[in-house]
């Protein structure tokens, strides 16, 4: 795709695999300085080496507000600004039905999928306010558009991200800060392996690929400041 992020600094949360990894690689190829954030230090180090000089690894547990603050501090120390934040991390569990969902698992899902997004948003806003510019992209799920059996904890957290994104935009638009929600349908990522019943191979063959989501993130991130993309729904054409 012919979109440039030259001279831009981007943090990609969830860079260790799937959509986040593809987005980090795509951003770096488009010229951005990319800060890779996820829990696995070893995986991030390998990815940073693969990408080269445009990438810096910063192991981060998004459930820890202090660790998220450190992520922002490290990025500013390295590059002095933050133009784009992509929140592409998230999880689900096999035991997702209400019959077996535990209080502890519910709390973990809220912390990872929603509270982590809040921590990252809150931490990056002061920098973007000073710049009078910034884009925050949240990767949600097609489960928001149509009820499914992905589990109430997963659906609740992905719905919650919508409120976080749109509420943030309304509060911060005068500061030049834009937010975008991405709603990918079935995508061939490791989270699919956590389904209680494996998805048939013929269905997976029609799924989106992580690169599709990465290209959408690149499009949004590279648009001029006058353009606001509140939501973007992406579904596999063969399964829509």
Q: What angle is formed at CA 117 by the lines to CA 111 and CA 121, rounded to 5 degrees?
A: 140
Q: Which of 119, 138, 154, 228 is catalytic?
A: 154
60: closest CA among 123, 138, 110?
A: 123
Residue 154 annotated in active site: yes
Tokens 């809220």 appear where? 110
DSSP state of 112: I
Please say whether the beta carbons of 94 and 60 come within 8 A.
Answer: no
Q: In 10 A of CB 218, how many CB atoms?
A: 26
Tell me if 145 sits within 8 A of 191, measured CB to CB.
no
Active site residues: 154
């Amino acid at each position: 795709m012919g979109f440039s992020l030259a001279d831009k600094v981007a943090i990609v949360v969830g860079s260790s695999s799937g959509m986040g990894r593809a987005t980090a690689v795509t951003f770096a190829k488009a010229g951005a300085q990319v800060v890779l954030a996820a829990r696995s230090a070893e995986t991030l180090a390998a990815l940073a080496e693969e990408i080269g000089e445009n990438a810096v690894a910063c192991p981060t547990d998004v459930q820890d507000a202090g660790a998220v603050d450190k992520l922002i501090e490290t990025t500013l120390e390295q590059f002095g600004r933050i133009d784009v934040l992509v929140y592409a991390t998230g999880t689900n569990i096999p035991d997702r039905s209400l019959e077996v969902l535990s209080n502890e698992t519910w709390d973990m899902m809220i912390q990872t999928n929603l509270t982590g997004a809040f921590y990252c948003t809150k931490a990056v806003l002061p920098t973007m306010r000073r710049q009078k510019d910034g884009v925050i992209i949240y990767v949600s799920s097609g489960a928001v558009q149509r009820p499914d059996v992905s589990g109430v904890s997963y659906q609740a957290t992905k719905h919650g991200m919508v409120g976080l994104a749109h509420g943030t935009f309304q509060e911060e638009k005068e500061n030049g800060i834009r937010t975008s929600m991405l709603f990918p349908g079935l995508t061939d990522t490791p989270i699919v392996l956590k389904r209680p019943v494996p998805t048939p191979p013929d269905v997976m063959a029609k799924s989106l690929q992580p690169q599709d989501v990465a290209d959408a993130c690149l499009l949004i991130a590279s648009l001029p400041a006058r353009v606001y993309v509140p939501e973007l729904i992406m579904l596999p054409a063969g399964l829509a």
